[in-house]
Structure 1
Amino acid sequence: MPKYLWQVSYSPEGARGLLEQGGTARRAAITEMVESVGGHVDACYFAFGVDDLFVIGDTPDEVAAAALAVRTAASGAAVSHTVALLTPEQFDEAAARNVTYRPPGAGR
């Protein structure tokens, strides 16, 4: 299954809900959401800085990941950025693929 990193920033409304319910309740809700599309949560960490939460997990496909993103956005409680992750083996496969590329400004 494709693996993702979700970087989440809470709106003031979302932060108030987080303060009321707590971190473990939020982790349970996130796990339930990801599992509802057939995925799995590997890790869930709160942070401070630009992003408030980092989640690593997988979904069966990109459509499932998009469903999670649109539901999160529609709530207004958080903004989530989805980053597709590759294993080192997947990166090796990508690096070995033949690609035709011409840098900008290079001759034709």
Structure 2
Amino acid sequence: MARYLFVATYTAHGIAGLGREGGTVRAEVVRALIENAGGRVEALYFGFGKHDLFVSCEVPDSTITAALGIAARSTGAVKAHVITLLTPEEIDEAAALPVTYQAPGE
């Protein structure tokens, strides 16, 4: 499974819902969303500032990840983006692949 970091910012409507439901209820909703799609939540944290929610998880593939994002964003209560996470070993494997690239101007 691939690892992702979902970073979300609640809209005014979403923050109002969070205030009514509380963090534990919202965390369980997010956890169920990911688990019902075949994924697993590694960590879930709320924050304050530019972003309100951080979810580190494993999801079977990018198509399912896109579906999760579409489902969450279609409510209008949250704006989110996804960051693909790679292990050090995956970076080692990528660095060892023979890739040819010419930088602009060279």
Common fold: TM-score over 0.5: yes
1:65-104 correspondence runs (5 A): 65-104=65-104
Give the Å deviation of 1:35.
Answer: 0.7
TM-score by length of 1: 0.96
Give the Å deviation of 1:36.
Answer: 1.2
Aligned-CA RMSD value: 0.6
Output one character per residue of 1:52-80: Cα deviation in whole Å (capped at 9) or x when no partner: 11000011111110000111110100011
Residue matched to 1:50: 50
TM-score by length of 2: 0.98
Q: Distance in 2 between matches of 1:82 and 1:39?
A: 15
Q: Following TM superposition, where does structure 1 have runs of at least 4 consecutive aligned residues deviating by more than 2 angstroms?
A: none
Q: Distance in 1 between matches of 2:64 and 2:58?
A: 9
Equivalent position SS for 1:75: coil
Structure 2: runs of 5+ lacking an equivalent: none
Q: Distance in 2 between matches of 1:104 and 1:48?
A: 40
Paired residue total: 106
Give the Å deviation of 1:48.
Answer: 1.0
Structure 1: runs of 5+ lacking an equivalent: none
Q: Distance in 2 between matches of 1:103 and 1:48?
A: 40
Output one character per residue of 1:71-97: Cα deviation in whole Å (capped at 9) or x when no partner: 111010001100000001001001111
Q: Distance in 1 between matches of 2:90 and 2:102?
A: 24
Give the Å deviation of 1:105.
Answer: 1.2
Residue matched to 1:10: 10
Equivalent position SS for 1:30: helix
Give the Å deviation of 1:104.
Answer: 1.0
Give the Å deviation of 1:8.
Answer: 0.4
Q: Distance in 2 between matches of 1:75 and 1:36?
A: 18
